[in-house]
Amino acid sequence: MSSATVTAVRSITLGVTDLSASTKFYTEIWGLTPVAESKDAVYLRGTGPYHHLLALVAHPQPQVLGLDMLADDRAAVEALHQSIKASPATQVGAPGTIDAPGGGYGFGFVDPEGRTVRVLTGDARHADTAAQPDKPSKITHAVLNSGDMDAASAFYQQHLGFHQKNRIERMCFLQCNEDHHSLAFALGKASSLNHLAFAMQDVGSVSRGAARMLSHGFVMGWGVGQHTAGEDVYAYFEGPEGGGIEYITKVPDGWLGSKDNTDHWDVALRPTEKQAAAMRRIPFRVEG
């Protein structure tokens, strides 16, 4: 058990087959901004302080290559390292300076389902964080498909300090900050990306972001609606090489719906078949 806790899911590294097309989509349509690049990778920030939210890496097939999670300070990183060392995780690295854009101090490991994860602190932050209408500020949550969602949930609770906010038939929601969930596991056949949620500043921004996607010919896969878990307003689309991407914003408790979660408004369309398929398409690179 760890008393230290991860405090956010900062970023995700996505392997993409067409780096320039994915970069163009995420910058010109989705609303992120390039902050660093190398020959084979582009790092994209939101309007918030985090160095980047997405690292897009040229790769032979669409694949999730890693997740970066934050801890408050070096003491927390050290404590989480001890906790992970005593867990079923494999390939646990020693804490040290991170040699990648954004830097920081942390360590990596491979979780029991083979996902590559890094826990870090002291990473570079941006000072120019004024809200920009209709652009995402951060990743609110990552939802991952798992062959055993309860085991995955238990691992992240026991060893990284997440708290299971709630569990429904097909999902476990894990909390580590003020957001309803930062990480969730969905029942699936394999370890893959279900979706990434990007925070928008208000309901109007979700709606205008969705309209921007529609104007570029993208079809909304689910939404606009209000989640039954978390009181959040959402619009889901399919990412350029699969995977779900979601605009999301928090609304005050009870603002739009009743406390009875069954009758929250949902203009949607339940997830279309195409959207549901996208939310199973990008596998994690599985490390032994």
Specify the residue, 23 or 249, whose C-beta has the smaller distance to Fe ion. 249
Specify the residue, 121 or 207, whose C-beta has the smaller distance to Fe ion. 207
> How many binding residues for Fe ion (CB under 5 A)?
2
Site membership for Fe ion, residue 65 (CB under 5 A): no
Q: Six-digit token pair at 206? A: 């979700």
Under 8 Å CB-to-CB from 256, ≥6 apart: which residues? 226, 231, 233, 264, 265
Distance CA 240, CA 238 (A): 7
Specify the residue, 123 or 246, whose C-beta has the smaller distance to Fe ion. 246
Rounded to a whole number of angstroms, the minimum distance from the CB of residue 227 to Fe ion is: 7
Rounded to a whole number of angstroms, the minimum distance from the CB of residue 133 to Fe ion is: 21
Q: What angle do the packed helices 74-85 and 149-160 form, to 10 degrees? A: 130
The residue assigned the tokens 């900062």 is 10
What is the sign of the dihedral through the CA atoms of 194, 197, 203 and 205? negative
Q: Pairing state of beta strands 282-283 and 192-199?
A: antiparallel
- Determine the interface stretch with Fe ion among 131-139, 172-180, 239-247, 279-287 (rule: CB under 5 A): 239-247
Query: What character string, x for contact with Fe ion (CB under 5 A) and - otherwise, covers 176-215?
Result: ---------------------x------------------
Rounded to a whole number of angstroms, the minimum distance from the CB of residue 158 to Fe ion is: 24
Give the interface with Fe ion as residue ranges (CB under 5 A).
197, 246
